[in-house]
Amino acid sequence: MFFADRMLGKLAKKLRLLGFDTAYASDMDEEDILEFCKETNRVLITRDRGLLRKAVERGVRCYYVSSDDWREQLMELSKKMDLKNSRRMSRCSLCNVELVKASEDEIKMKVPLYVQQTQDEFYSCPACGRVYWAGSHVEHAEALFRRLGL
Ligand SMILES: [Zn+2]
């Protein structure tokens, strides 16, 4: 769905927490980024006007954000597209991989006991093994999204 340019690492993580497929690579050059976006039909999100211009010339869909703060970047994006109807907490914020139900073993090994006792839904990332649940960072992110009106 999206490709966030190298200046937008934080925004990429938040978009993933919102459930959007967001690719991010800090080490790709402009040509590769444009080619990749075209091949995978991704919308490029960038703060780089030069890259924006090239994307437009190549027919790559593109959103420009001007702020250097990810909260304001999310607000800018929400004016261009609907960020509300997403499948939240369905994607690993680090790997951009879809989460699956965590196994009993994973829960036992990776989730603190007090969390196991108070939560009943756990998801894990097939790529990095990180376990997600409704408390912790997920709730923190939800609160932020609410404050931003998302
Ligand atoms: Zn992961």
The answer to whether residue 24 sits within a structural domain is yes
What distance in angstroms lies between residue 138's CA and the mean position of ligand 1's atoms? 14
- Taking the centre of ligand 1 as the mean of its atom positions, its distance from the CA of residue 92, in whole angstroms, is 5
pLDDT single digits (tens) 63-107:
999 999 998 999 899 888 888 777 777 899 999 999 999 999 999
Please tell me the distance between residue 130's alpha carbon and the centre of ligand 1 in angstroms: 6
Each as own residue / partner, the long-range contacts of residues 73-80 (CB below 8 Å, 24 or more positions apart, any chain) are 73/8, 73/11, 74/11, 74/14, 74/15, 74/148, 74/150, 75/148, 75/149, 77/11, 77/45, 78/148, 78/149, 78/150
Residues 108 and 43 in one domain: no
Same domain for 74 and 17: yes
Q: How far is the CA of 147 from the centre of ligand 1 (A)?
A: 26
Could you tell me the distance, in angstroms and rounded to a whole number, from the CA of residue 94 to the centre of ligand 1? 5
- Give a yes or no: residue 86 inside a domain: no
Q: Which domain holds residue 27?
A: 2-80
pLDDT tens-digit series, residues 11-25: 999 999 888 999 998
6 plus 73 within the same structural domain = yes
Give pTM, 2 decimals: 0.85
Alpha carbon of 50 to ligand 1 centroid (Å): 32
* 31 occurs within a structural domain: yes
Distance from residue 81's CA to the centre of ligand 1 (Å):
26
Does one domain contain both 11 and 74? yes
**Residue 150 resides in a domain:** no
